[in-house]
Amino acid sequence: MKVWFLGTGTSQGIPVIGSTHPVCLSNDVRDKRLRVSVWVHWEGHSYVIDCGPDFRQQMLTCGCTKIDGILYTHEHADHTNGLDDIRPFFFRQGDIPIYGHKRVIKNLKKRFDYIFESENKYPGAPSVIVNEVTENDVIKLGNINVIPIKVYHGDLEIFGYRMGDFAYFTDVKTIPEDEMHKLKDVKVLVVNALRIEPHRSHFNLEEAVAFINTVAPERAYITHISHLLGFHAEVQAQLPENIFLAYDNLEITI
C-alpha cells in the first residue's frame, strides 16, 4: 500500500494569503502546505481521504487517473470543498462512491445539492454513490477492511480510518478510550498537530506526540499543520526518531 500526502496544511493552507509570517515566506518546499488529504492506493485500488479545495491541483500533481471512492473524515470546508472537481473521474468512470458519517452526507447534500439531484440534473454535474458509515461498520474496499474510528474534533464527532496496517486521523482533539482497541498493532499512524500552543478542537504537537506514544506504531507522521507550528526543518529536528512531519507530495509505503 502506498500513501501519498496530497496536502498537510490546516484550513487556510501555508502560506496564508497575505501573511508575512516567516513560515509563510519560507523558501523550503516542505513549508508549502495545501489543504489536508491523502491518496491511498494498492494493487490497482485507489481512494482519497477527504477532498478539499486543492483537490484538482493535488490530483494533477500526483498523477492519479482513477478514484474508486472518497472517504470523508468530516464536513468542514477544508475537507470537502473539492467535490465538484471529481468531474473528470466521473466522466471516465461513472458515479463515484463516497463514504461518510450520515451528518456529513446530509451536509454535502445541502451544499452540493446539484450533485445529488435526481430530476432535471445538469448534464455536466457529477454523480456519487452514497455510503453512510457508522463507527460499528467495517467497509470492504477491494481486499482491505477499512475500520472507521470515532474521534472528536472539539465537540464534533468525526472519523479516522484504519486500513490494514495504516491509520489516518486529522482534526482530532480527543479519542474515546473504547475506540483505542481498533488501533492495536497498527504499524503506520498519521495524526494531526496544529501548532505548539493548545487549541480547542485540534491536537497541538505535545498532544499528538502523547497520542502516538500511547498507540506505539513503528512510524508516525504528523499532518494538518499550521504556520504557527514553525519551520518544517526546525520542528522535525526536535522530534523522536520514529515521528516525522509529513509534507506535501511525500509518499510512503506500508
Chain residues binding Zn ion by CB under 5 A are 78, 171
Please list the alpha-helical segments (H only) found in 34-73.
55-62
Q: Are residues 198 and 182 in contact, defined by beta-carbon separation less than 8 angstroms?
A: no
Of residues 19, 3, 85, the one with CA closest to residue 228: 19
Q: Give 171 or 248: the residue with its C-beta nearer to Zn ion.
A: 171
Q: Give 85 or 171: the residue with its C-beta nearer to Zn ion.
A: 171
Q: Give 50 or 144: the residue with its C-beta nearer to Zn ion.
A: 50
Tell me how far, at minimum, the Cβ of 242 lies from Zn ion, in Å. Answer: 25
Please give the C-alpha separations between residue 102 and each of 37, 157, 198, 245, in angstroms, as whole numbers.
20, 11, 30, 32
Q: Give 51 or 144: the residue with its C-beta nearer to Zn ion.
A: 51
Strand-pair category, 96-100 with 69-71: parallel
Q: Give 189 or 225: the residue with its C-beta nearer to Zn ion.
A: 225
Tell me how far, at minimum, the Cβ of 171 lies from Zn ion, in Å. Answer: 4
The three state secondary structure string of 90-116 is HHHHCCEEEEECHHHHHHHHHHCHHHH
Tell me how far, at minimum, the Cβ of 53 lies from Zn ion, in Å. Answer: 11
Tell me how far, at minimum, the Cβ of 58 lies from Zn ion, in Å. Answer: 15
Tell me how far, at minimum, the Cβ of 201 lies from Zn ion, in Å. Answer: 9
C-alpha cell at 107: 451536509
* Rounded-to-integer distance, Cα 203 and Cα 196, Å: 9
